[in-house]
Structure 1
């Protein structure tokens, strides 16, 4: 394997190994500090991060506000306090010279307020902001205001070009790097565009080369690109290392740090990782963000798939093929469906899926009474964890704080499930994000006999190869 040398990133020399930020309470101060102490760039998630009480116990996020707006304010407060707590721990574990980044999702509720609150409350502890899930134009303004570097996450040169021309060119000196997150390989939310087919993966090399060529047009030939998604053994990427066409490259590891001693996920989750097989991680479009995302296929995703299959189109009038009357809801209001769909609806009802829920697309989905009640309860309990939510129809923008569409029962409350799985909840009944290479835990001899490395051991293994 080629020698892995330090590169210049964010104004300092670091190993080109970056910890990927992972969602709610998974990448935390412990993992980030340990990764940075090993010589790379540690990243804690600033998305609804955990905070602690006086005894050091995690404060579970509960909400007492009577309205969504009131609960949203509670969520923002939780997010700021949690982010500060994780920044402090990362700095304490990593040391004064560690490179610590905070990862935020631009589409999370109150994203700008949360990251500003963290940077105010943990002054000098955060060296960089990594940000994706949307088009974070204001990221450069925040970086300039607080004197930190910024690392936008993109999945194409075209996306970066739009960000650069509109905003980033005004804060050139603080652009520490650009994260290319492969939309077919990375875990979590993926940046597939409308022109890309989720079923037809494209090779990352030409896409990253196109990004580099676009960056060179802007005078950014020496700004590192961080490859995220599908990275396991660095010898598999030797043609990327010291490649003059690609320029400086770093590699982001998101899935592998899950299986470390410092990782806060449950032992059951860690054991599940070393049983995964090829194909167990799937790309699906149920997220309330509207983005595709990659997660371990389990009962939770299976039920979402089945729910969408139990779906028929309806019309408020008898028109075209919609000639069969169907009565909806407790008031038995009539809608019209096709005779074929009417027969399907009758079969679902006989199977116990007796509740109908309307979607924004003039369709009906069929669920059991218990599942329908849970969906409605979750929609009512919305705390505004996203800037826009298709599941609950929340938007953080006034005056009415709704997206103007019917709440979509084909999606789910992402805050509820990610909080639960991160705090020892059911692995089958919750969303488990993972990259598509997660199945390699099973065949990698490094993890034989159930071995769980420390972060330091993992980084050493990455640097020395197989």
Structure 2
């Protein structure tokens, strides 16, 4: 097999593959999945969104449980990785505890901090230079330009890498509902090449490489090769890693992916206030007809008003990851319908990162 991407732009990184496993919460990408990906030479990512949900004192003590669990999962993931690859965290800017999560992850030894669901304009303030790599998730050249300019002017820093997420990704998306209703109108390839061009001035100014990872709808090596031709240095993939033996989600959650068809996927409006891609299950259909009563707040998202949302996203995500997939929220990428079995992390990585050799007759 032939590796697709070159590693020339990753000098000094503890990676043997330019692959990021995307962060998925609540509870889908924890230490088990992240550690397995890192052990294969990639970057395993732990989602910090309500990461303490399985702690016995979680209800009513969410903030402390989340911080405690961030450390626990980073330590465990590094043990599973055995010195290979990198362990990162994905911290949503929309979280109430965004700043605290970032700081705790760095203290616990995360190799990188990746932030999306909002622009992390203050991320350099939270991560001391050299302690961990920092990266934003952006969906347009405009957003990348704004963020890189802000970091440069305010902090004299720049990104260590950039994740560029397209409209076919799962979970919360950086596009409007109108755009996502007809994604053919989104010129993601143009945005990707624009971001690659935009970061060059900061590479020159800071004398460092700023690799760009493309995300959203990356299924196999042919997609990775197409992305490489556009100037990307690597890929981020998430959906394919859910239906693996190593994924932290329940077997019922994984089977929901295996059984899903392309027609089961829907763009929804999340209580977070952003559009997202999810399975159109009984829960989504029920809450679109009538809101689900929100009895308590789990202090997850900034500006959340329990009396005005259709359901509690924390409860919906926890129910799903525990296997109650018809009564919970199941985020997914556009390619979920292609998954037909539960495989392994190694098999997924081989499909993504290596071209199959064609044997001549």
TM over 0.5: yes
Residue of structure 2 in register with 1:8 after alignment? 9
Match of 2:74 in 1: 87
Using a 3 Å threshold, how does the CA distance of structure 1 residues 161 and 174 change in structure 2: closer, same or farther? closer
Deviation at 1:134, TM superposition (A): 0.8
Inter-partner Cα distance in structure 1 for 2:264 and 2:57: 30
1:63 to 59, 64, 75: 59
Partner of 1:418: 317
State how far apart, in whole Å, the 2-side matches of 1:126 and 1:99 are: 8
1:461 matched to 2:345: no
CA distance in 2, matches of 1:134, 1:275: 32
Task: Call closer, same or farther: CA 1:10–1:302 in 2, change over 3 Å.
Answer: farther
Q: In the alignment, which residue of structure 2 is the partner of 1:312?
A: none
SS of the aligned residue for 1:294 comes to strand
C-alpha distance 59-162 of structure 1, shift in aligned 2 (>3 A): same
- 1:111 matched to 2:102: no
> Secondary structure in 2 aligned to 1:240?
helix
Measure, in 2, the Cα distance between the counterparts of 1:274 and 1:82: 29
CA distance in 2, matches of 1:440, 1:259: 11
1:306 Cα deviation from its structure 2 partner:
2.2
Higher Cα Rg, which structure? 1
Structure 2 residue corresponding to 1:197, chosen from 165, 174, 179 = 179
Q: Indicate the residue corresponding to 2:298 in structure 1.
A: 383
Query: In 2, Cα distance between the equivalents of 1:146 and 1:384?
Result: 31
Any idea what SS the aligned residue of 2:263 has? coil
Which one scores higher on RCO, CA 8 angstroms, separation ≥ 6? 2
Where 2:352 maps in the other structure, the secondary structure is: helix
1:148 maps to which of 121, 132, 149 = 132
Compute the TM-score of the two structures, normalised by the length of structure 2. 0.89
Q: Which residue of 2 aligns with 1:226?
A: 213
Aligned residues: 349
Q: Which residue of 2 aligns with 1:427?
A: 325
Q: Distance in 2 between matches of 1:464 and 1:273?
A: 24
Tell me if the contact between 2:14 and 2:85 (Cα under 8 Å) persists in the aligned partners.
no
8 A contact 2:141–2:195 mirrored in 1: yes
In the aligned structure 2, how far is the partner of 1:151 from the partner of 1:10? Answer: 17
Q: CA deviation at 1:18?
A: 0.9
Structure 2: which 5+ runs fail to align? Answer: 357-361
**After the TM superposition, which residues 179-218 of structure 1 pair with which residues of structure 2 at under 5 Å, given as runs?**
179-182=163-166, 184-193=167-176, 197-201=179-183, 202-218=186-202
Query: What is the distance in 2 between the residues matched to 1:150 and 1:250?
Result: 16
Q: CA 1:62–1:87 in structure 2 vs 1: closer, same or farther (change >3 Å)?
A: closer
Kindly state the Cα deviation for residue 143 of structure 1 after the two structures are TM-superposed: 2.2
1:291 is aligned to 2:189: no
Aligned to 1:316: none
Shift of 1:229: 0.7
Q: Secondary structure at the match of 1:439?
A: helix
Does the residue aligned with 2:127 lie in a helix, a strand or coil? helix
State the Cα distance separating 1:174 from its structure 2 match.
6.0
Residue 366 of structure 1: aligned partner:
none
Query: CA shift at 1:280, angstroms?
Result: 1.3
Worse-superposed segment, 230-239 or 153-162:
230-239
Partner residue of 2:359?
A: none
Show the 5 A alignment for 1:2-401: 3-4=3-4, 5-9=6-10, 11-12=12-13, 14=15, 15-50=17-52, 58-60=54-56, 62-64=58-60, 74-120=61-107, 122=108, 125-144=109-128, 147-168=131-152, 175-182=159-166, 184-193=167-176, 197-201=179-183, 202-219=186-203, 222-241=209-228, 243=229, 246-285=230-269, 287-307=270-290, 375=293, 378=294, 380-390=295-305, 392=306
Q: Check the 8 A contact 2:127/2:134 in 1, yes or no.
A: yes
1:98 positional shift: 2.8
The 3-state SS of whatever aligns with 1:383 is coil
- Answer with 76-85 or 199-208: which moved more: 199-208
Could you tell me how far 1:218 is from its partner in structure 2?
3.6
Deviations 1:246-279 (A, max 9, x none): 4442111100110111112222222221221112
CA deviation after TM superposition for structure 1 residue 171, in Å: 5.5
* 3-state secondary structure, aligned to 2:272: coil
Contact 1:417 1:430 (8 Å CA) reproduced: yes
Q: Secondary structure at the match of 2:308?
A: coil
Determine the C-alpha separation between the residues in 2 that align with 1:419 and 1:10.
39
C-alpha contact (below 8 Å) 1:144/1:171 kept by paired residues: no
Indicate conservation of the 8 Å contact 2:319/2:325, yes or no: no
Shift of 1:298: 0.4
**Contact 2:224–2:235 (Cα < 8 Å) also in 1:** no
